Amino acid sequence: MVREETRMFTRTRMKGTTALLAVTMPVAPMAAAMAALVAAPVAAHAQTGQQVTVDGARKVLNDLRHDKAFGNAAQMLRKAKAVFIVPQLVKGGFFIGGEGGNGVLMVRNSGGWSDPGFYAIGAASFGLQAGLQQSEVIMLIMTQKGLDGILRDQFKIGAQAGISVVTLGSGVEGAMGGASVPDIVVWSSSTGLYGGLTVDGSIIKSQPNKDAEFYGRPVTPREVLFGSVTSPNAALLRKDMASFG
């Protein structure tokens, strides 16, 4: 049987002369070694990218906690069925000429808040005020209808979908005490400026590839959100959510 080999050449200096040495290595082991060297940094980078989003969500929660404009944040969160947190909603972040960003969705279950599922949101425009390049966003999903909508693939928010959306500061506190509770309540902070943000017409889409990278195996969004999988890398985020009630 003919054994496939490859030769790698290296130069070595010996007594003032340069010699060309040949190192023989079987092709298959060398290919496997090269693949491992390439795959390891890619996997580590993917994990780091998701961790950045999780850590960014913790920062957004902290900003919300200290935001006087939010008022009864704890009361709203205690009633919320789910929370979608976008650490950075940026211009050009979803598609060219549009706005969007990556975020995490967490669902309230009987045992507390779920681990984060990774989702993206994008739109032609969220109405970011002139000159602003990014915004922190939290969507409080207050009703089962709102949650069911987001769990659909490529869900488009808006009146056409039968989902009512209220932006904080537009009378939401009064609406929360009324007979008809809004499906989604939106809070945003754009470099200290509030208001002007609308999510109507935006698209929310799950990112199963990022879920798989974060949890180390292929998982469905429902497996993440309803308690089948967990990660110690999300423990601090779950703790922060639990502190709101």
Q: What is the pLDDT of residues 182-224, one digit of tens each?
A: 898 888 776 444 445 667 778 899 999 999 999 999 999 999 9
Residues 22 and 125 reside in one and the same domain: no
Supply angle C-alpha 114, 200, 89, rounded to 5: 60
* Within a domain: 48: no
Is residue 47 in a domain?
Answer: no
> Exposure of 17 by Cβ count < 10 A (0-12 exposed, 13-18 middle, 19+ buried)?
exposed
Alpha helices in the chain (DSSP H): 27-65, 73-79, 144-151, 172-176, 208-215, 221-225, 235-244
Q: Do 27 and 72 belong to one domain? A: no
What's residue 98's pLDDT?
Answer: 62
Residue 114 in any domain: the answer is yes
The two three-digit tokens of residue 53, written as one number: 């989003």
pLDDT at 80: 94
Q: Is residue 135 part of a domain?
A: yes
Same domain, 87 and 150: yes
- How high is the pLDDT of residue 21? 36
Note whether 229 and 195 are same-domain residues. Answer: yes
Q: Is the pLDDT of residue 173 over 90?
A: no
Let me know how many helices (H) and strands (E) the chain has, helices first: 7, 11
Residue 77 banded pLDDT, cuts 50, 70, 90: confident
Same domain, residue pair 71 and 25:
no
Q: Does the residue 236 lie in any domain?
A: yes
Residues 31 and 67 in one domain: no
In a domain? residue 208: yes
The residues near 161 (Cβ < 8 Å, ≥ 6 apart) are 149, 155
* Cα–Cα distance, 183 to 208 (Å, whole number): 25
- Whether residue 138 lies inside any domain: the answer is yes
Residue 176 forms part of a structural domain: yes
Residue 34 sits in which domain range? 5-42
> Are 19 and 76 within one domain?
no
Element (H, E) at 156: strand 155-156
Both 104 and 161 in one domain: the answer is: yes
Is the pLDDT score of 40 beyond 50?
Answer: no
Alpha-carbon gap, residue 112 to 110, rounded angstroms: 6
User: Quick one: 161 and 195 in the same domain?
Assistant: yes
Amino acid at 207: Q
Residues 65 and 169 in one domain: yes
* 222 in Cβ contact with 144 (< 8 Å): no
Question: What does the DSSP 8-state code read for residue 164?
Answer: -
Looking at residue 239, what is its pLDDT? Answer: 95
Provide the domain count of the chain.
2
Q: How far apart are CA 35 and CA 32, in angstroms?
A: 5
